[in-house]
Structure 1
Amino acid sequence: MVHWPRWRPDCTARQTGACTRREDAMVNRIPTLRQRRLGAELRRMREQAGFGGSHLARLLGVTPALVTQMENGKTGISVERLREIAAACMCANEPLIDALADTVMGNDKGAWWEEYRGSLSENFLEVAEIESHARAISLYTMAFIPGLLQTEAYTSAIFGRSYPPLPRHSVELRTAFRMQRQHILRSGDLPYSAYIHEAALRMQFSGAKVQAEQLGALITASEQPNISVQVVLFDVDMIPLPNENFTYLEGPVQELDTVQADSGVGNFLFDAPAHTARFRSLLAQIDSAALPVDESRDFIRSIKKDMESKYV
Structure 2
Amino acid sequence: MALRSNPTLRQLRLGAELRRMREQAGLGGSQLARSLGINPAHVTQMESGRTGISVERLRTIAALCMCVNEPLIDALAEIITDRDKGGWWEEYRGRLSQHFLEMAEMEGRAHGLSTYTMAFIPGLLQTNAYASAVFARGYPLLPPHEVDLRTAFRMRRQQVVRSGETPYSAYIHEAALRMQFSGPGVQADQLGSLIEDSERSTISIRVVPFTVDALPINHENFTYVEGPVPELDTAQMDSGLDSVLFDAPAHIAQFRSLLERIDSAALSAEESRDFIQSIKSDMESNNA
Q: Same fold (TM over 0.5)?
A: yes
Partner of 1:255: 231
CA distance in 2, matches of 1:231, 1:122: 31
Match of 1:182 among 147, 158, 162: 158
Residue 216 (structure 2) aligns with:
240
Q: Aligned residue for 2:6?
A: 30
Deviations 1:10-62 (A, max 9, x none): xxxxxxxxxxxxxx3x7447311000000000000000000110011111111
Q: C-alpha distance in 2, partners of 1:90/1:254?
A: 19
2:103 aligns with: 127
Aligned-residue offset at 1:238: 2.7
Tell me if the contact between 1:142 and 1:244 (Cα under 8 Å) persists in the aligned partners.
yes
The CA deviation string for residues 251-279 of structure 1, in whole angstroms up to 9 with x for no partner, is 00000000011122211100001000000
Q: Render the CA deviation track for 1:127-183: whole Å, top value 9, x for unaligned.
A: 000101110001111011010100000000000001010000000000000000011
Aligned to 2:203: 227
Helix, strand or coil at the partner of 2:26: coil
Asked if 1:158 corresponds to 2:156, the answer is no
TM-score (norm. length: structure 1): 0.90
Partner of 1:267: 243
Matched residue, 2:47: 71
Root-mean-square deviation (Å)? 1.2
Cross-structure match for 1:89: 65
Contact 2:215 2:262 in 1 (8 A): no
Deviation at 1:205, TM superposition (A): 0.2
Aligned equivalents of 2:72 and 2:248: distance in 1? 14
1:151 and 1:256 mapped to 2: Cα distance?
Answer: 31
The residue aligned with 2:19 is: 43
Deviations 1:202-251, CA, capped at 9 Å, x for gaps: 00000000000000000000000000000001121133213210011000
With over 3 angstroms needed to count, the CA separation of the structure-2 counterparts of 1:261 and 1:108, relative to structure 1, is: farther
User: 1:180 is paired with a residue of what secondary structure?
Assistant: helix
The separation in 1 between residues aligned to 2:159 and 2:42, in whole angstroms, is: 39
Q: Which residue of 2 aligns with 1:203?
A: 179
Q: Is the 8 A contact 1:95 1:253 kept in 2?
A: yes
Matched to 1:298, the amino acid is D
Identity across the alignment (%): 69
Which position in structure 1 is the counterpart of 2:113? 137
Shift of 1:109: 4.5
User: Which structure 2 segments of 5+ residues have no match?
Assistant: none
1:61 corresponds to 2:37? yes
Counterpart of 1:114 in structure 2 is: 90
Of residues 109-118 and 220-229 in structure 1, the stretch that sits farther from structure 2 once superposed is 109-118
- Provide the rounded CA distance (Å) in 1 between the counterparts of 2:73 and 2:148: 41
Is 1:287 matched with 2:287? no
More deviation, 31-40/237-246: 237-246
1:173 aligned partner, one-letter code = L
Alpha-carbon distance in structure 2 between the residues aligned to 1:285 and 1:301: 25
Shift of 1:86: 0.4
Change (3 A) 1:28 1:258: closer
1:149 aligns with 2:125: yes
Answer yes or no: is 1:276 the counterpart of 2:252. yes
Q: Which SS does the other structure have where 2:61 is aligned?
A: helix
SS in 1 for 2:166: coil
